[in-house]
Amino acid sequence: MDVLLIGIDAACRGVLKPLFADDRLPTLSSLLADGVEAPLESHVPPWTPAMWPSIYTGVNPGKHGVFSFLQYEGYDWDVISADRVREHALWELLDYHDETSVVVNVPVTHPPSSFDGALLPGYTAPESPDCHPPGLLDAVTEAIGSYQLYPDRDDTGGPDAYTELVGQRGAAFRYLTEDYDPSFGFLQFQTTDTVFHDHPGEHALVKAIYERVDTEIERTLEQCDPDTVFVVSDHGIGEYTGVGFRMNTFLEQHGYVEPTESGAGMPSWAPIRDGRLRSGGDDSTAGPDLLTHLGATLSRVGITTRRVGRLLDRAGLTDTVASIVPDGLVRAGQRQIDFSASTAFMRARIELGVRINLEGRDPDGVVAPAEYDAVRSSLIELLSGVQTPGGEPVFERVAPREEFFDGPYAEEAVDIVTIPNEYNHFLTADLLAEPFGPPGQPWNHKREGLFIATGTAIEGTHREPHLFDVAPTVLSALEIPPSDRMDGAVLPIVEPVAPQSYPPYETDESETSRGDGAVADRLATLGYLDST
C-alpha cells in the first residue's frame, strides 16, 4: 500500500495526552514519534457529517453541500446521505488515474459511488447498508464472522459493544486489502466519538476503546506495510462547563419567533424518547392519533409544554421526565415555531446558526428580500451582545455565512453563523420558558482535532494544517494531482503535485436517498437532533 489514511473521530490532544502518558497507545505513540504532529483545525460547524466530506473532498461545505446531519426541503428535514456530497471524493479522483482504493467506515458514504476498489459505508448509513461492489457486505461478514455499523444500545454489553465494532473495522479493512491490493486505503473509527455522547465521563471505557483502536492500527500496519501513513480526526471533544442557550426562546423574547401549540409548526422541544426508542424500538404503542388528540386536548385546557417546561426547569426535573414520557405525546402538545408569523429561527442546534424566514426562498417566508440585509444586521448585532447570567459572552463570533462558506451550495447554510465561546456553551433550538439552562450534554465537540503524518513521502517542516489540506496532501503523497477546485493546499511535508482540472461533479437531485428512520433515532439519542 502506498498511502494509508486512518480516521479517528474526535481524537485530540486533550483525550490522547493521558493515554500516551500511561503508555496505553504504543502504536500511535510510535507514529507520532517518527513523524510530524499538529492540531488539525476544524471548520464550522464542527460535526461529523460535514467534516468527513470536507476531509475526503478538500472543499468547504459551500462546495460539497453538507452542513450537518440533516438535509432540508423547505421546513422538512431528512438525515443526510452521500447523494448530497456534490464533489469528487479522494477515491473517485484516484479512480480517474486508474488507482485502486479500499474505504471502510467513513461517514457519509452511503449510498456508495462506483470506482475501482471497495467501500463499506460508515456513519449516517443504515444498518446493513448497500456497499460497493454489491454483495461486499455478505462477503465481509462471511470472512470475519460479523459486521455491524452501530453499537447495540443494551448497556449490559459494556465495553465489548464498542470494542467489538473497532475490531470489526480493522478485520474488514485487512480482509479487503488482501482481496483488492489497493494503492490507497482509508480506515475510519467512529466509536471514539460515540462513547463520549453515550457514556460521558466514563474514562475506563474511553481507554478500552482507544487501546483496541491502537491494536487494530498495529495489525493493519503489519499486514498492509504502507509507505506513508496519515492519522486525522475531524474535531476534538471535551467537557462543556458553560451554559445551555436556547436560541429560539431568546428569539421569541425579542420578537423574531412566534410560537404555536397547534401541532402544525416545527417541533422545537428536545425529542423525549421512552426506553423502547432509546434501545432501538419505536414510540407507536399508544398510537399516533390517540397521542395527537390527547396533546391537543391538553393544550386547549391550558396544559401546554411551555407551562410544564417552566415547572420542570425550576424543579430540575427536565431530564428525568424526558426519560419516561412518550415522544408522541410531547410532539402533540409542544410549543413549535409558527413559520407564517416568524422572522428568524434556529432550525436545529447542529447548524450553529440562525435562518431568516425569507420570502421567495422559504415556503412561508415573511421577510421581503429588500429587508433581508437589515434584518440580518440587526440580528447579528443583537446576538453578538448576548451574555450568560454570569456576564460572559455566549458567542465568540456572530457573522454572515459568507465569512465561512463559498460555493454553489453556500446558500443552503444558515444565514447567520453563531460560534459558542470556546465551544463551551451548548446551543439548542428548544422553546422553553427561559433562554438559559444547563448544558444539554456534559461532553461535546471542540475546535481542534489531530493530524499525524509519517513515512517515506514525509519530509521537511510543517505548518498548522486545516481539514481542507488533508485531501490535496494525500493525493500529492500518491503523486496524483489534486483538484483545482479544492480549498486546501498541499502541506509542505510532502512534495507538491500541481493541481489539475477534473470533470465537474454530476448529480441527480431527483434520486437523493431518503434517510433511515433508525439513524435519526440514533442521532437524537446521541443528542445531535433536537427536533423531530
Residues 249 and 189 in one domain: no
Q: Would you place residue 204 in the very low, low, confident or very high pLDDT band (cuts 50, 70, 90)?
A: very high
Residues 90 and 187 in one domain: yes
pLDDT for the residue 294: 45
Can you tell me the distance from the alpha carbon of 469 to that of 319, in angstroms, rounded to the nearest whole number? 41
Residues 278 and 147 in one domain: no
Q: Would you place residue 284 in the very low, low, confident or very high pLDDT band (cuts 50, 70, 90)?
A: very low
Q: Would you place residue 313 in the very low, low, confident or very high pLDDT band (cuts 50, 70, 90)?
A: low
C-alpha cell at 484: 483545482
Q: Which amino acid is at 212?
A: R
Lowest mean pLDDT among 58-67, 427-436, 468-477: 427-436
Residues 194 and 155 in one domain: yes
- Out of 406, 423, 442, pick the residue that ends a domain: 442
pLDDT for the residue 211: 98
Residues 451 and 432 in one domain: no
Instruction: Say if 531 falls within a structural domain.
Output: no
pLDDT per residue as tens digits for the range 13-23: 999 999 999 99
Q: How large is the greatest C-alpha to C-alpha distance in the chain, in angstroms? A: 73
Instruction: Say if 530 falls within a structural domain.
Output: no
Across-strand partners of 19? none
Instruction: Say if 511 falls within a structural domain.
Output: yes
Q: Would you place residue 110 in the very low, low, confident or very high pLDDT band (cuts 50, 70, 90)?
A: very high
Name residues whose C-beta falls within 8 Å of residue 102's C-beta, 6 or more positions apart in sequence.
117, 118, 119, 173, 176, 177, 180, 182, 184, 185, 186
- Out of 417, 442, 467, pick the residue that ends a domain: 442
Average of per-residue pLDDT values in the chain: 86
pLDDT for the residue 521: 55
Residues 188 and 289 in one domain: no
User: What order do you get walking across the sheet with 416-420 strand by strand?
Assistant: 344-345, 353-356, 416-420, 395-400
pLDDT for the residue 157: 56
C-alpha cell at 133: 461492489
Instruction: Say if 55 falls within a structural domain.
Output: yes
pLDDT per residue as tens digits for the range 32-43: 999 999 999 999
pLDDT for the residue 311: 53
Find the mean pLDDT for residues 454-479: 92
Find the mean pLDDT for residues 488-496: 95
Residues 68 and 216 in one domain: yes
Residues 318 and 364 in one domain: yes
pLDDT for the residue 268: 39
Q: Which amino acid is at 88?
A: H
Find the mean pLDDT for residues 525-531: 52
Lowest mean pLDDT among 15-29, 463-477, 506-520: 506-520
Instruction: Say if 197 falls within a structural domain.
Output: yes
- Helices (DSSP H) in 358-427: which residue ranges? 372-384
Residues 44 and 82 in one domain: yes
Give the rounded percent of residues in the chain with a pLDDT score beyond 90: 72
Burial string for 219-251 (b: 16+ CB within 10 Å, else e) reads bbbeebebebbbbbbbbbbbbbebbbbbbbbbb
Degrees, nearest 5: CA angle 10-16-21: 175
Residues 494 and 506 in one domain: yes
- Out of 442, 459, 489, pick the residue that ends a domain: 442
pLDDT for the residue 495: 94
pLDDT for the residue 263: 65
**Residue 353: domain span:** 244-442
Find the mean pLDDT for residues 388-395: 97
Instruction: Say if 359 falls within a structural domain.
Output: yes
pLDDT for the residue 512: 52
Can you tell me the distance from the alpha carbon of 182 to that of 49, in angstroms, rounded to the nearest whole number? 25
Q: Would you place residue 513 in the very low, low, confident or very high pLDDT band (cuts 50, 70, 90)?
A: low
More confident residue, 315 or 51: 51
pTM of the prediction? 0.85
Residues 185 and 106 in one domain: yes
How many domains does the chain contain in total? 2
Lowest mean pLDDT among 280-284, 339-343, 347-351, 466-470: 280-284
165 contacts 148 by C-beta, under 8 angstroms? yes
Degrees, nearest 5: CA angle 300-301-302: 95
Strands 3-8 and 416-420: unpaired
Instruction: Say if 188 falls within a structural domain.
Output: yes
Say if residue 12's pLDDT is above 70. yes
C-alpha cell at 456: 517515506
pLDDT per residue as tens digits for the range 349-383: 989 999 999 999 999 999 999 999 999 999 999 99
More confident residue, 319 or 154: 154
Find the mean pLDDT for residues 427-451: 92
Averaging pLDDT over each range in 47-51, 324-328, 418-422, which range is the top one?
A: 418-422
C-alpha cell at 45: 460547524
Find the mean pLDDT for residues 302-322: 50
Say if residue 520's pLDDT is above 60. no
Residues 205 and 257 in one domain: no
Instruction: Say if 527 falls within a structural domain.
Output: no
**CATH number, position 200:** 3.40.720.10
